[in-house]
Structure 1
Amino acid sequence: MDTMRDRFAPVVSRLLDEDPRVAVVLAEIGVAGFEGAQHRHPDRVINVGIREQLLVGAGAGLALTGLRPVVHTFASFLVERPFEQVKLDLGHQDVGAVLVSASASFDWPSGGYTHMAPGDIALLDTLDGWTVHVPGHPDEAETLLRHAVAAGDDKVYVRLSVQSNAEAHAVDGARFRTVREGRAGVVVAVGPMLDTVLAATEGLDVTVLYGTTVRPFDSAALRRATESAGTDVVLVEPYLAGTSTAVANDALADLPHRVLGLGVGRRELRRYGQIEEHVAAHGLDAGSLRERIGGFLGATATRVSA
């Protein structure tokens, strides 16, 4: 199966052909994928070199002229390094862009901590008005990329990862999907965490919601799920643990409830290793998740066989 990032350049290249407003801004990363598009649209495929602050600033400048810029590089260089430009050039100037990242939390362990960004969405949460898509499959990535580019002049972040679920789900760029129903708690699985969450909760009497658009957070879906499953909620996110705890608490503010946020820990892992080793070290493998989810929900979560 191809990866989400494999889909990125072909999908956006087609959008460049289809829509004269679309422009692409790169900082060396991903340039090879746009060679054909650059020949066809030399004025709308721009490589600024290894200058990430300029990357975002150029995107904002294009947006001020009425274009719809798609800005791409690794997450750590797209959100963290040029955060001031994201905050001011886009937010303060009230213009939109589509930021599309690669490398996610730890997709390239050999790149070291400079190429890891588990805190990207938590950082964007300090700003107003961002839509955040976290696809869990290449097909979903393609759909959400198209949603993002077509979203008027909004500020949109699309977080691509090499981690993927085995199958795609229908996504609409807004709502959570109910994948499994139960009565002893709600588990929200974000993006590529779904398959692992389903394996971890096999035999547990819980509702599993699947989220690929996490900002705005689908508070209505969470509240509906708690009507039959109770108000114990576990969030399993492929980035910094607790990133969505506050918005989940806000969704249930008028109800007695508990929320457990699981995700990437704050402790830096100083050995590169492999992706699977990072997953296990952060307790995001199926066995660890089952223990942590089961411990939080208690004995009532065990599904009784007929």
Structure 2
Amino acid sequence: METMRDRFAPVLTQLLDEDPRVAVVLAEIGKDAFTEAQHRHPDRVINVGIREQLLVGAAAGLALTGLRPVVHSFAPFLVERPFEQLKLDLGHQDVGAVLVSAGASFDRPTDGQTHMAPGDVALLDTLDGWTVHVPGHPDEAEALLRRAVAAGDDKVYVRLSALANRQAHEVDGQRFTTVREGRAGVVVAVGPALDAVLAAAEGLDVTVLYATTVRPFDAVALRRATGTAGTDVVLVEPCLAGTSTAAVNEALAELPHRVLGLGVGRRELRRYGTVEEHTAAHGLDAASLRERISAFVAVPARG
């Protein structure tokens, strides 16, 4: 199956052809996928070289002229390294852009810690006004990218991953999807974590919500689910563990509740390994999730 990133360049090239406001800003990474687009739109496909602070600064400048810049690189080079420019050039100047990352938390383990950014969404949470999409399938990534580009002048982050669920779901860039219903607790599966969560929850009496847009957080869907499934909530995120715990607490502030935030741990794994080994080491494989979910919600298997 093609990856989310495979889908990214063709879709964005089409948007460049269709919408004169769209511009693409690159820092070497991904430039080969836009060779033809650059020939057709040399003024709107810009490669700044290996200068990630300039990557974001140039995008902000384009936004000030009325363009809709789409900025692409690996997550640590797009969110962490130029964070000051995200805060000032975009945030302080009150202009928008679409950031599209690759690599996710550990998609490229052989490249080591330099190419890992499990804390990207948590870092953006320190800034105001960001919409954050975490698709779990290439079809969802395309739909959310198109929505992000068309979203006026908003600040949007689209987190692409090489990991994907087997099946796409309809996404609207706002609401969570109820995948299955139960009575003993709620599990919120974010993006590519859904397949592992469904395997882990097989036979357990829990509701599973699927989230591909985590900011804004769909508090309405969570409150609705807890009304029938109880107020034990497990978050399973393909980013830093606990990233959305505060959002759950805010959504359920008027209700007694418990939250377990599962995701990528803070401890650095100093062996490159494989994606599967990293997934297991962080307890995000189906077997580990089942054990942790069952222990937290104290739910017997359906029988």
Distance 1:36 1:294 in 2: 51
The residue matched to 2:10 in structure 1 has which SS?
A: helix
The aligned residue for residue 300 of structure 2 is 302
Residue aligning to 1:35: 35
Gaps of 5+ in 2: none
Give the 3-state SS of the residue equivalent to 2:69 in structure 1: strand
Deviation of 1:22 (Å):
0.1
Residue of structure 1 in register with 2:169 after alignment: 169
Q: Match of 2:253?
A: 253
Aligned to 2:288: 288
**CA displacement at 1:303 relative to structure 2:** 3.9
Alignment of 1:38-49 (within 5 A): 38-49=38-49
Pairwise mapping of residues 184-203 of structure 1 onto structure 2 (< 5 A)? 184-203=184-203
Q: Tell me which residue corresponds to 2:268.
A: 268
Residue of structure 2 equivalent to 1:179? 179
What's the TM-score once normalised by structure 2's chain length?
Answer: 1.00
Which amino acid is 1:36 matched to? E
Q: Secondary structure at the match of 2:166?
A: coil
For 1:224-243, what per-residue CA distance to the aligned partner results, in whole angstroms no more than 9, with x for missing partners? 00010000000000000000
2:214 is matched with which residue?
Answer: 214
CA distance in 1 between counterparts of 2:74 and 2:130 reads 18
Q: Is 2:54 the partner of 1:54?
A: yes
- What is the identity percentage for the equivalent residue pairs of Structure 1 and Structure 2? 82
Cα distance in 2 between the residues matched to 1:14 and 1:131: 23
Letter in 2 for 1:159: R
Q: 1:243 and 2:239 equivalent?
A: no
Which residue identity lines up with residue 181 of structure 1 in the other structure?
E
**How many Å separate the matches in 2 of 1:57 and 1:110?**
30
- Distance in structure 1 (CA, Å) of the matches to 2:58 and 2:182: 48
Match runs of 1:116-131 below 5 Å: 116-131=116-131
The corresponding residue for 1:141 is 141
Count of matched residue pairs: 303
Q: Which residue identity does 1:162 align to in structure 2?
A: A
Tell me how far 1:94 sits from its aligned partner.
Answer: 0.2
2:83 corresponding residue in structure 1: 83
- Report the residue type matching 2:173 in the other structure: G
Deviation at 1:75?
0.1
Matched position secondary structure for 1:178: strand
Q: CA RMSD in A?
A: 0.5
Amino acid at match of 1:296: F
What do residues 257-288 of structure 1 show as CA deviations (whole Å, max 9, x unaligned)? 00000000000001101000000000000000
Equivalent in the alignment of 2:132: 132
Equivalent AA in structure 1 for residue 151 of structure 2: A
Find the counterpart in structure 2 of residue 20 from structure 1: 20
TM-score (norm: length of structure 1) = 0.99
Letter in 2 for 1:282: H
Mapped partners of 1:205, 1:167: distance in 2: 22
Q: Distance in 2 between matches of 1:167 and 1:115?
A: 27
Instruction: Report the CA distance between 1:171 and its aligned residue.
Output: 0.4
For 1:6 and 1:98, the matched residues in 2 are separated by 18
Q: Which amino acid aligns with 1:75?
A: A
Distance across 2 between alignment mates of 1:7 and 1:58: 24
